[in-house]
Amino acid sequence: MDDLTKLLAIEEIKQVKARYFRTMDTKDWDGYAEVFAPDAVMDMRSEGSRDGVARDEMVTTGNRAIAEFVKAAIDTVTTVHHGHMPEVTFTSDMTADVIWAMEDKLRWPEGSPISTLHGYGHYHETYRLVDGAWKIQTLRLTRLRIDAV
Amino acid sequence: MDDLTKLLAIEEIKQVKARYFRTMDTKDWDGYAEVFAPDAVMDMRSEGSRDGVARDEMVTTGNRAIAEFVKAAIDTVTTVHHGHMPEVTFTSDMTADVIWAMEDKLRWPEGSPISTLHGYGHYHETYRLVDGAWKIQTLRLTRLRIDAV
Amino acid sequence: MDDLTKLLAIEEIKQVKARYFRTMDTKDWDGYAEVFAPDAVMDMRSEGSRDGVARDEMVTTGNRAIAEFVKAAIDTVTTVHHGHMPEVTFTSDMTADVIWAMEDKLRWPEGSPISTLHGYGHYHETYRLVDGAWKIQTLRLTRLRIDAV
């Protein structure tokens, strides 16, 4: 990749991740599915288990399945997810490793077993050029800190 | 626009918005007025009404009037405004649509009717090239969540 | 510098600062030292004094000494540092001024004299091209607000 192609790819990757956050927080699940490659893998084992979902099952494959998985977790939850300070490293003309700092703040409806969660960590991602557009290929979350009430 | 011009414009737009935030939080109201086009329009109806300002009057036109409007609201308030994850779409060689994620945290002086506000949302903006410099032409805020005390 | 060189330098500076934050919060002190020029100067007088360190001694010179200074302050503290909205101004082909908005959130181990700190402010930095890589040359912090418990 020449320098200009690289800069364009970095900016496109940033905007893909911006759509990831905005579609998640505004509950636009079709738009959310679009930011992932068709065979994307999301690894959320850092989040532990969930009602009826064991820790080992917190890995989801396929962009539609990922959107369903996340929708089932937070469609009724007021969420704010912010990403910061991407570190982009190209591993080929069509693939990149990216690390993002992140913060999330969730508030469940009244009467839920959990009330609020406020967390911080890093996304460790790979991106791939799919039919001319950069998409998230894999996503794994690590945590610096979680405060739950 | 060619690719390089586009990337330069995106970076300039990011720095304009950085000055928007920094001048607001450091109360540099002349610098704040400079980030807007002379005929810019700020729509703050998402924030409801304000002492003596009805909800329908929360739309302000003109960069100087916008700076006066915001100064009147927060000059004595300790404010922190952060912006994240811009999505820039050019609509012509001289205009762009931009969405920003945002968080704001305000603390009023002791004795004020409101004590603190902590909010999250998105700026929906347009920018315009005015005499060779990108400026904010319109700004509208939508909210994900507001916590006020 | 031509436009493309400038854009590449801005992106590299952003990624240097991303490593500054990530290595600090994951306590990778060797990686942290690498983001600074060998003769870098960090001015933390905004933070006041510290056990056994007077306010006037809160200025540290040298990338290894800076890493030791910060390690001594926060190696056992759970920290989250985020940076936002850089304003980059080149002052020569090899030097740049950069302002970043920032937020930090620290939680000390139980039994410490201080429990938590949550702050906001701006980094005022200079960067320098050292052997072909951009590094932080000077760093000074100013504060909008600090909440300590």
The neighbouring-strand residues paired with B128 are: B95, B135
Helix (H) or strand (E) holding A144: strand A133-148
Q: Could you give the CA distance from residue A1 to residue A10 in angstroms, rounded to a whole number?
A: 12
Matching CATH number, B3-148, of 2.30.30.60, 3.10.450.50, 3.30.450.20, 3.30.360.10 = 3.10.450.50
- CA distance to partner chain C, nearest, from residue A85 (Å): 5
Instruction: Provide the 8-state DSSP code for C108.
Output: P
Inter-chain residue contact B86 with A18, CB threshold 8 Å: yes
Burial (CB < 10 A; 0-12, 13-18, 19+), residue C8, is middle
Query: How many other C-beta atoms are found inside a 10 Å radius of the C-beta of residue B42?
Result: 22
Mean pLDDT of all residues in B1-15: 98
CB-nearest to A101 from C8, C21, C78 is C21
Mean pLDDT of all residues in C74-102: 98
pLDDT at C139: 98
pLDDT-based confidence at A125, cuts 50/70/90? very high
Inter-chain residue contact A86 with C26, CB threshold 8 Å: no
User: Is a pLDDT exceeding 90 seen at residue A99?
Assistant: yes
User: Is a pLDDT exceeding 80 seen at residue A50?
Assistant: no
Inter-chain residue contact C82 with A85, CB threshold 8 Å: yes
pLDDT above 70 covers a percentage of chain B that reads 100
B101-110 pLDDT, tens digit each = 999 999 999 9
B41-57 pLDDT, tens digit each = 999 998 888 777 888 88
By the CB < 8 Å criterion, does C10 face chain B? Answer: yes
Contacts of C110 (CB under 8 A, 6+ apart): none
Q: In this predicted complex, what is the ipTM?
A: 0.94
pTM: 0.95
